[in-house]
């Protein structure tokens, strides 16, 4: 089958790497891809939100399946666009329609969904500009710290954790009346702070049955010891040692089953990945957020541990036969370290020549923000490369990934040397 992947980051590189290994994959295309995805397929210069160009390409190249990497095209309705068009509606799109993508696209929608289906999550209420006064009155009742979340997509920046009531009042007012996060903060969710350790669980569903993919933990802060600004993710490990069988059983019974069943009850068709961000609060899982896609850099740790043929699994999603698909996960441990551009997550250096990739010993190099300029591979984004290794235990995986990341050089290269060591 001929497959088109939409996206250009480390996540899409990992998808391309995995799909290209399948005997069922004839031609693989990545739009727009990066300097690394060209190893696994053909890059196509189309933006992920240019639905008309995607349609043309899909028809011209006899594409049999479209796998959507990032949330933006899903929230904007790429799947609905296919279903509404007689020429392409038979081509399966992996990723939910716009309504299901609201699980990520609207925090208010996802909180209401969780409340309706008894999925454990932090207590919360939603306010708008019109109900600002009520919001200000609600704030002192929820305890400190308090979490404020812009309702809509805000490029990972829409969540504020306020330590004082004064700060929370000021920020709530800024978000609602001065559009601090633009249209995304025209509604704000005020949420109770959950104390615990974060991890993520990933589910692949055809809308009826599901497979629970390996768990992963991502490291969001730029600095070692989890300090400094938030980033898209500086590294990940899979599995997560504290997510033992007992904990994962709770996650499945209390969260995954009610989520998949809840979508069915609400008549929300959903074919794709559900990324469940969790807080482990003293052994009990609570949902922090849903995403309608895989995580980045979690995908880079999760996919190498899946032994089954991913094309076969995605076919199961498309055809509604996921329940019949065999699914096996490796016992090995994956560690991923992200090399970022100097200055990231602020203003960062670009267009720097990358060297040393050929010196990597025992890791897979997933390109993220890279571009090919003649023979050169240059940096072209904040997160540049994701280095993933698979080893027998966590300590060896972390050491190997760190050693391999240090073999990469470009002007301004930075990576965290402490990823995962808190879990050893």
Which positions lie near ligand GLY, rule CB under 6 A? 218, 233, 291, 295-296, 298
CB of 404 to ligand GLY, least distance (A): 21
Q: Provide the token pair at 328.
A: 């096996």
CA–CA dist 113, 110 (Å, integer): 5
Is residue 315 at the binding interface for ligand AMP, with CB under 6 A as the rule? no
Is residue 122 at the binding interface for ligand AMP, with CB under 6 A as the rule? yes
- Give the start-end residues of each E strand in 141-250: 146-150, 159-162, 187-192, 197-205, 210-212, 217-218, 221-223, 227-230, 235-238
Stretch that binds ligand AMP, among 189-197, 306-314, 330-338, 408-416 (CB under 6 A): 189-197
Q: Provide the token pair at 347.
A: 């203003």
Stretch that binds ligand AMP, among 24-32, 51-59, 192-200, 208-216 (CB under 6 A): 192-200
Q: Provide the token pair at 398.
A: 């972390």
Is residue 193 at the binding interface for ligand AMP, with CB under 6 A as the rule? yes
CB of 148 to ligand GLY, least distance (A): 18
Select from 167, 198, 284, 418 the one that contacts ligand AMP (CB under 6 A): 198
421 contacts: CB under 8 Å, gap ≥ 6: 398
Is residue 147 at the binding interface for ligand AMP, with CB under 6 A as the rule? yes
Is residue 294 at the binding interface for ligand AMP, with CB under 6 A as the rule? no
CB of 178 to ligand GLY, least distance (A): 26
For Cα atoms 421, 308, 66, give the angle at the middle one, nearest 5 degrees. Answer: 100
5 contacts: CB under 8 Å, gap ≥ 6: 12, 15, 16, 19, 28, 29, 30, 31, 33, 37, 41, 66, 67, 69
CB of 367 to ligand AMP, least distance (A): 25
Measured over the CA atoms of residue 416, residue 403, residue 236 and residue 315, the dihedral's sign is positive
Is residue 404 at the binding interface for ligand AMP, with CB under 6 A as the rule? no
Is residue 75 at the binding interface for ligand AMP, with CB under 6 A as the rule? no
Nearer Cβ to ligand GLY (153/365): 153
CA–CA dist 369, 15 (Å, integer): 15
CB of 292 to ligand GLY, least distance (A): 11
CB of 147 to ligand AMP, least distance (A): 4
218 binds, among ligand AMP, ligand GLY, none (CB under 5 to 8 A by kind): ligand GLY
Pairing relation of β-strands 227-230 and 221-223?
antiparallel
Is residue 162 at the binding interface for ligand AMP, with CB under 6 A as the rule? no
- Give the start-end residues of each E strand in 196-330: 197-205, 210-212, 217-218, 221-223, 227-230, 235-238, 272-281, 284-291
Is residue 171 at the binding interface for ligand AMP, with CB under 6 A as the rule? no
Select from 77, 277, 356, 412 the one that contacts ligand AMP (CB under 6 A): 277
298 binds, among ligand GLY, ligand AMP, none (CB under 5 to 8 A by kind): ligand GLY
Checking phi first, is residue 308 left (phi over 0); if not, alpha (psi -120 to 50) or beta? beta
Contact footprint for ligand AMP (CB under 6 A):
122, 147, 149, 159, 191, 193-194, 198, 277, 288-289
């Amino acid at each position: 089958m001929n497959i088109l992947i939409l996206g250009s980051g480390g996540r899409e590189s990992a998808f391309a790497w995995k799909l290209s290994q399948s005997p069922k994959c004839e031609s693989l295309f990545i739009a727009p891809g990066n300097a690394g995805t060209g190893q696994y397929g053909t890059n196509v210069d189309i933006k992920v939100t240019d639905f008309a160009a995607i349609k043309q390409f899909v028809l011209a190249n006899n594409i049999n399946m479209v796998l959507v990497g990032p949330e933006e095209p899903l929230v904007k309705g790429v799947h609905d666009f296919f279903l509404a068009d007689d020429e392409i509606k038979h081509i399966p799109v992996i990723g939910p329609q716009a309504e299901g993508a609201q699980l990520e696209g609207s925090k208010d929608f996802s909180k209401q969904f969780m409340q309706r289906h008894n999925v454990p999550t932090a207590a919360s209420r939603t306010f708008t500009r019109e109900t600002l006064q009520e919001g200000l009155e609600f704030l002192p009742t929820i305890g400190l710290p308090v979490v404020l979340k812009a309702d809509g997509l805000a490029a990972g920046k829409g969540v504020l954790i306020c330590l004082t009531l004064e700060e929370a009042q000021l920020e709530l007012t800024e978000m609602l009346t001065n559009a601090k996060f633009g249209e995304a903060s025209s509604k704000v969710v005020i949420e109770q702070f959950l104390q615990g350790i974060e991890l993520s669980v990933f589910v692949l569903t055809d809308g009826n049955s599901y497979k629970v993919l390996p768990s992963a933990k991502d490291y969001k802060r730029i600095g070692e010891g989890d300090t400094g600004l938030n980033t898209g993710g500086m590294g990940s490990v899979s599995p997560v040692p504290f997510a033992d069988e007992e904990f994962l059983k709770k996650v499945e019974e209390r969260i995954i089953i009610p989520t998949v069943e809840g979508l069915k009850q609400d008549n929300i068709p959903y074919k794709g990945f559900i990324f469940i961000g969790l807080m482990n609060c003293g052994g009990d899982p609570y949902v922090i957020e849903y995403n309608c896609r895989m995580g980045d850099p979690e995908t880079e740790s999760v996919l190498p541990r899946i032994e089954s043929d991913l094309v076969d699994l995605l076919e199961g999603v498309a055809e509604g036969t996921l329940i019949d698909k065999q699914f096996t996960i490796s016992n090995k441990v994956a560690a991923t370290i992200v090399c970022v551009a100097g200055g990231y997550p602020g203003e960062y250096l670009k267009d720097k020549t990358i060297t040393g990739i050929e010196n990597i010993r025992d890791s897979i190099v997933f390109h993220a923000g890279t571009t090919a300029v003649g023979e050169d591979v240059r940096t072209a984004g904040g997160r540049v490369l994701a280095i993933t290794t698979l080893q027998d235990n966590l300590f060896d995986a972390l050491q190997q990934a760190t050693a391999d990341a240090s073999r990469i050089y470009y002007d301004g290269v930075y990576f965290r040397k402490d990823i995962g060591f808190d879990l050893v």
